[in-house]
Amino acid sequence: MAARGGVEEMRNRVILGEFGVRNNFRVDVIHMDENTLEFDMVGIDAAIANAFRRILLAEVPTMAVEKVFVYNNTSIVQDEILAHRLGLIPIRADPRLFEYKNQGDEEGTEIDTLQFQLKIKCSRNPHSARESSDPNELYINHKVYSKHITWVPLGNQADLFPDADLRPVHDDILIAQLRPGQEIDVLMHCVKGIGKDHAKFSPVATASYRLLPDITLLQPIEGEAAETLKKCFSPGVIEIQNIKGKKVARVANARMDTFSREIFRHDDLKNLVRLARVRDHYIFSVESTGVLPPDVLVSEAIKVLIGKCRRFLDELDSNHMD
Amino acid sequence: MAEEVERKPVLEMVQADGTDGNCVTFVLHDEDHTLGNSLRYMIMKNPEVEFCGYSITHPSESKINFRIQTRGGILAIEPFRRGLTELVDVCQHVLSKFEASVKEYKAQREAEMD
């Protein structure tokens, strides 16, 4: 009996106020800048919100260095370590303009591969002072940064990307350090991949969501207790108002709370407050690595989920034809 | 040298015997909780479905077993297809609302800059 009631409850929770009643669902962008995006999704279920989060982390494709051809590496950094570091550098290239590389293809065509070169040699600075011990003065090119990576166009890529803005997202990523006489000469092939394969392909620094807190005061709280209550929550959550000379506490902005649950350490206050979450209000926070703007990433993630469903629908249809 | 193009299976159907299409277990390859949970949620909303669940057979293999049982003699493939279509609709609705909201935010910020 309990199980049946549970299923009915779940069906009703899921049908009421969902997409059957489309007015309930809304999306509000709270804050957006170049690399971060904070937005609210209200009226959606955890399964779909989580699917978007998982796709943002692991299934939105980007371009990253996959093959490193080492022609000369006399630096202290081993070949494989250098290759690993180069793979993790985010590359500013729109992955939607490229195709996935075919499995057995060794060479790499112009539609699926980007070629980069890193060629740098460290030498002694002839103009340095005699007693100086500062490496910045003594050596030239002793720090290898990502700005030293140059793009080598393949095939007709020079015509496709005339602005030649294909480079790492950040110029100041330190790759290796050299001393005079050491040199690095590598050629890198950059392909399209997804985070599921290797984390270097993940387009987000992180993507997460939390539910909107719901703080209710079960009884009016006044005076000293109101002050203590205010200190138990994050700043800005509880506001003290002066009503007829008495201090009365009021929940001003539950959104800012981080749920430290400090209130439960105070025996006099813990029964007067109810801490809960609003079940269908998700506050998403997406931080991009710079490859694509975060709002584009979210749109791409939703399109990936649509693509997955369509793939199975096509499969169903083609099976039915047979 | 004949090259054999091996087509990796994407979707398989495994039927329990003697239940004539009411209970079907689908094996979805290269999928995990991302599609499994959201699809299960969409299919559960259908009142014709008596049972719907998914499981990941082994964490090292990326495939899921998706089981649907219907009541009332309906073929299990119907809620599956309907769930997929509804999930596509939901995603498109979310996408349009999200893009509208982003556009509105950008317009609002433009207005504030002036």
Q: Look at residue A6 in the predicted model and tell me its pLDDT.
A: 60
Q: Amino acid letter at A235?
A: P
Please say if the pLDDT value at position B9 is more than 70: yes
| CA separation for the pair B13, A105 (Å, rounded) | 33
Contact B38 A48 (CB under 8 A): yes
Provide ipTM, 2 decimals.
0.90
Please say if the pLDDT value at position A184 is more than 90: yes
pLDDT tens digits, B10-59: 788 877 666 677 888 999 998 999 999 999 999 999 899 999 999 999 99
Please say if the pLDDT value at position A244 is more than 90: no
For residue A151, give the H/E element and its range: strand A149-152
Contact B11 A315 (CB under 8 A): yes
Q: For chain A, give the mean pLDDT.
A: 88
Contact A302 B34 (CB under 8 A): no
Specify which residues B14 forms β-bridges with. B25
Nearest alpha carbon to residue B28 among B70, B73, B83: B83
% pLDDT > 90, chain A = 55
Please say if the pLDDT value at position A186 is more than 90: yes
| CA separation for the pair A242, A81 (Å, rounded) | 63
In residues, how long is chain A? Answer: 322
Q: Look at residue B2 in the predicted model and tell me its pLDDT.
A: 41
Cα distances (Å, whole numbers) of residue A227 to A111, A167, A224 = 64, 54, 5
Please say if the pLDDT value at position A74 is more than 90: yes
Touching check for A12 and chain B: CB below 8 Å?
A: no
**DSSP 8-state secondary structure symbol assigned to residue A35:** S
Residue of B12, B40, B91, B110 to mutate, interface with A, max A Cβ within 10 Å: B91
Contact A308 B35 (CB under 8 A): yes
More confident residue, B6 or A14: B6
Cα distances (Å, whole numbers) of residue A228 to A104, A146, A250, A264, B26 = 67, 51, 13, 12, 56
Contacts of A45 in chain B (CB under 8 A): 41
CA dihedral A85, A86, A91, A95 (to 10 degrees): -100
Question: Is A61 within 8 Å of A98 (Cβ atoms)?
Answer: no
Q: Look at residue A268 in the predicted model and tell me its pLDDT.
A: 86
Q: Look at residue A1 in the predicted model and tell me its pLDDT.
A: 45
Q: Which two tokens stand for residue A86?
A: 């180069």
For residue A208, give the H/E element and its range: strand A204-217
| Alpha helix (H) residue ranges in A171-293 | 224-232
Looking at CA atoms only, how far is residue B91 from chain A in angstroms?
6
Q: Which of residues 17-56 of A touch B (CB under 8 A)?
A: 18-19, 22, 25-29, 32, 39, 41, 44-45, 47-48, 50-51, 54-55
Touching check for A102 and chain B: CB below 8 Å?
A: no
Q: At what angle do helices B33-44 and A46-58 cross, to 10 degrees?
A: 160
Q: Look at residue A5 in the predicted model and tell me its pLDDT.
A: 59
Specify which residues B52 forms β-bridges with. B68
Residue of B92, B101, B106 to mutate, interface with A, max A Cβ within 10 Å: B101
Spatial neighbors of A46 by CB under 8 A, at least 6 apart, are none
Q: Taking residues A256-272, what's their average pLDDT?
A: 88
Single pTM value for the model = 0.87
pLDDT tens digits, B58-114: 999 988 999 999 987 888 888 999 999 999 999 999 999 999 999 999 999 999 887
| CA separation for the pair A184, A81 (Å, rounded) | 13
Touching check for B41 and chain A: CB below 8 Å?
A: yes
Classify residue B59 as exposed, middle or buried by CB count within 10 Å of its CB (0-12, 13-18, 19+): exposed
Looking at CA atoms only, how far is residue B20 from chain A in angstroms?
16
Indicate the pLDDT class of residue A37, thresholds 50, 70 and 90: very high
